[in-house]
Amino acid sequence: MIGRLNHVAIAVPDLEAAADLYRNALGAQVGAPQDEPDHGVRVIFIELPNTKIELLNPLGADSPIQGFLDKNPAGGIHHICYEVEDILAARDKLKASGARVLGSGEPKIGAHGKPVLFLHPKDFNGALVELEEV
Amino acid sequence: MIGRLNHVAIAVPDLEAAADLYRNALGAQVGAPQDEPDHGVRVIFIELPNTKIELLNPLGADSPIQGFLDKNPAGGIHHICYEVEDILAARDKLKASGARVLGSGEPKIGAHGKPVLFLHPKDFNGALVELEEV
C-alpha cells in the first residue's frame, strides 16, 4: 500500500540557521522558505536525489509544532511521510486494522497541494506518520 | 556533499510486531530480521521504492538503542542516514564547520558493510544523523 517516502520532517528552532547548516555544512540543495498558514508552519525543503527533508518552523500562534519544540528546544525529527495512491482507501484499511487517524479523520490539503492524513504515533512505534496521496 | 537518504531508522520495542504492522497494515515489503552483534542491534529493513526504513531493536546487554527505548518505551524515529561518496572527506568538512562526530571519530563498518559515522544531534537540530559511504 505505501509507496515512496515523500519526506522526513525535522522541526527546527531557527529555520534560516537550519537551512545554512544543510546548505553549507552538508552541501545539500536547499529551497526557499514557504509559509503554510493553513498548517501553521513555515517550511524549507531540502532536495535529496531520492526524497526530501522538510525543515519545519512554527508560523502563527497555534502552530501544531510549537508543543514539539517546547518539549525539544533544539528541534528533532518530527514525522515521516509515505505516499499512497488512494488516501481514502488507505485510511479505511488502516482504521480496519485498528490504527487511529488524527484530527477529523478527513484528509486536508498538505504542503504540496495534495490530500494528507496523519496517523497516531502510538499505533506506529512512536513515529508520527503522514500519508500523502500522489 | 550529502547524496541519497539511505534510510530512516525507527527504534521499536517489539521487532516482529513492528514488522507485522508494516507488512499488513501498511502493505510494505518487509525483509528478514538480521542480527548485527557489532552494533548491538537486530534490524529489519522495509524496502520502499526510493529508500528504506530500518526497524531497530536492541541486541545484547550494551545495545546503543536501549537508552532510547528506556526514554521512549513505545519506540520512535531514531536517526536518518545520508549517503556520502567519501566519508573521511565528509567528516573533515563537517568537523571544520564545527560539527561533532560521535565516538572515536573514525568510521565503523555499518549494517550494509560500508563505513559509517554518526554526528552529534545537538549540531543537527536534534536529529541523529548517520553518514554512510557508498
The contacts of residue B68 (CB under 8 Å, 6+ apart) are: B11, B76, B78
Closest-CA distance, B37 to chain A, in angstroms, reads: 23
Q: Is B60 an interface residue toward A (CB < 8 Å)?
A: no
CB contact under 8 A, B125 and A75: yes
Query: In sequence order, what DSSP letters do the residues of A9-27 get, joined into one string?
Result: EEE-S-HHHHHHIIIIIS-
Of B6, B125, B131, B9, the residue nearest B78 (C-alpha) = B9
Provide the number of CB pairs (under 8 Å) joining chain A to chain B.
121
What does the pLDDT read at residue A6?
A: 97
Residue A75 in grid coordinates: 528541534
Provide the chain A residues 101-130 that lie in CB contact (below 8 A) with chain B: 121-127
Partners of residue B82 on adjacent β-strands: B5, B131
d(CA A29, CA B1): 9
- A77–B126 C-beta distance less than 8 A: yes
Q: What is the pLDDT of residues B66-120, one digit of tens each?
A: 999 999 999 999 999 999 999 999 999 999 999 999 999 999 988 778 999 999 9
Given CB atoms, is B45 within the 8 Å cutoff of chain A? no
The pLDDT, as a whole number, for residue A112 is 78
Query: ipTM of this model?
Result: 0.96
Q: Is the Cβ pair B25, A121 closer than 8 Å?
A: no
Fold classification of A5-133 (topology level)? 2,3-Dihydroxybiphenyl 1,2-Dioxygenase; domain 1 (3.10.180)
Domain assignments of chain A as residue spans, ordered by start: 5-133
Residue B16 has a CB neighbour count (10 Å cut-off) of 12
Q: Which of the four pLDDT bands, split at 50, 70 and 90, describes residue A83?
A: very high
Task: Name the average pLDDT for chain B.
Answer: 96
Interchain contact, A50 vs B50, CB within 8 Å:
yes
CB B132 within 8 A of CB B52: no
